[in-house]
């Protein structure tokens, strides 16, 4: 029973680490996922260029993993850093492929080399965000918070204000560009609903699962939005 519980805790910790890494990747990589210049580079790149990009990114992500990483651990050995680097790049590629598929920038009809080029050139910057996840999302969700004593209305206003600030920081990197009307014109209503659902799921992971800075305040404060 203890062995089974220990294994379950290990899988739970691994899942939490992956969600933390993906959250950092989305915070860092979302603007590039909506950039047509990166799509074009991926469309016309060669296998040799893809290999060079992967090798270069591996070195950068490896160095970042040694200093930041996406796991909550104090010491990262060289071998662990190398393994985490491969995992960070894999997380970046999978998440980038998922978003590109939602946006219809890759489809089953897209040529294989173009698909790989887009996924790699979008996924590798995404991997940098994964490697910097602890820098983005540092904090302990179980630490005590003074927000327990805050009035409900003050905590709720603070929550709304933080939400608006975060939304503007992320959205202003995307909204003023030509990619948005271009994507909107070619996406069907069911896919739009899928994008909304994915956005809500990703947001939930960033705020409530990944270990966001000062996250304890979200779990213990008397905010109206946290008690619905």
Query: pLDDT tens string for the chain (228 positions)?
Result: 666 666 667 777 778 778 878 887 887 788 888 888 888 888 888 999 999 999 998 988 888 887 766 766 656 677 888 888 898 899 999 999 999 998 888 989 999 999 999 999 988 888 888 887 766 555 544 444 444 444 555 566 666 666 676 666 666 667 667 788 888 888 888 888 998 898 888 887 777 765 555 444 554 455 554 554
pLDDT at 167: 67
Tens of pLDDT, residues 63-83: 888 776 676 665 667 788 888
pLDDT at 213: 52
pLDDT at 140: 47
Rounded-to-10 torsion of CA 109, 113, 116, 120: -140
Number of domains the chain is built from: 1
pTM of the model: 0.72
Q: Which helix (H) or strand (E) holds 190?
A: helix 189-204
Residues 51 and 54: their CA atoms lie apart, in Å, by: 5
User: Sign of the C-alpha dihedral, residues 219, 134, 99, 18?
Assistant: negative
Q: How far is CA 134 from CA 34, 70, 128, in A?
A: 24, 5, 12
pLDDT at 151: 54
Domain with 186 in it: 2-226
Angle, helices 112-131/78-102, rounded to nearest 10 degrees: 130
Nearest 5°: the CA angle 93, 173, 196 is 65
Count how many residues are written for the chain: 228
pLDDT at 162: 62
């Amino acid at each position: 029973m203890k062995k089974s519980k220990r294994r379950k805790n290990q899988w739970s910790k691994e899942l939490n680490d992956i969600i933390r890494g993906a959250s950092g990747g989305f915070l860092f990589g979302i603007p590039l996922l909506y950039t047509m210049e990166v799509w074009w580079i991926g469309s016309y790149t060669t296998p040799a260029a893809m290999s060079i990009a992967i090798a270069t990114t591996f070195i950068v992500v490896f160095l970042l993993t040694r200093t930041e990483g996406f796991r909550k651990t104090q010491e990262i050995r060289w071998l662990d850093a190398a393994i985490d680097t491969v995992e960070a790049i894999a997380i970046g590629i999978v998440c980038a492929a998922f978003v590109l598929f939602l946006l219809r920038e890759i489809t089953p009809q897209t040529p294989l080399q173009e698909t790989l080029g887009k996924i790699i050139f979008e996924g590798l910057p995404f991997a940098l965000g994964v490697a910097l996840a602890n820098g983005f999302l540092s904090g302990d969700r179980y630490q005590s918070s003074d927000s327990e004593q805050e009035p409900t209305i003050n905590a709720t206003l603070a929550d709304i204000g933080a939400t608006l600030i975060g939304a503007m920081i992320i959205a202003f990197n995307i909204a003023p560009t030509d990619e948005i009307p271009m994507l909107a014109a070619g996406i069907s209503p069911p896919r739009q609903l899928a994008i909304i659902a994915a956005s809500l799921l990703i947001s939930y992971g960033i705020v409530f699962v990944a270990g966001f800075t000062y996250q304890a305040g979200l779990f213990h404060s008397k905010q109206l939005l946290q008690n619905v």
